Amino acid sequence: MRTNRARWLVALFAFLLLALLVTYGAGYRIDYYSCHKCRNLRRVRAHTFLWWAVSRSESVDGSHPVEPGHEHEWWHYGTFRQSGLWGTFHAFEAGPQQYRDGWQAPVPSDEPPVTPPKKPKAAAE
């Protein structure tokens, strides 16, 4: 009787461990950085397993020219996380601005930007 109970406890523990691995196991995290001096962007991607970083890669969008001797001042403005079976759990956390000085990169679009309507002037009294 005691061995039967021990088998059930081991089976339950194995099932819970497997459920934890499937739910939270493999995933990745992307941290987004910007340099307000040159307007370039940096992306750091880390593959994780149960909250530990397994591998890390980094890429810099060098679409803006950089002068010789320029040192980037990277500012963290956002994080994307994805984990779980088939990416079940994901979240994006971003600050209120993309660059430290408050400048926002224009969003690429095929249409011209929409300007808000002008407020009517108050009637003169």
Interatomic CA distance for residues 95 and 114, integer angstroms = 24
What is the average pLDDT value for the chain, to the nearest integer? 78
pLDDT at position 125 over 50: no
Q: Which two tokens stand for residue 24?
A: 């939270």
Least confident of 6-15, 26-35, 98-107: 98-107
Q: Which residues pair with 94 in a beta bridge?
A: 78
pLDDT in tens, 60-97: 888 888 889 999 999 998 898 888 766 667 778 776 66
| pTM (predicted TM-score) | 0.64
Residue type, 51: W
Asked if 63 and 51 count as a contact pair (C-beta separation under 8 A), the reply is: no
Largest CA distance in the chain: 96
pLDDT in tens, 37-51: 888 889 999 998 877
CA 27 to chain CA centroid, Å, is: 12
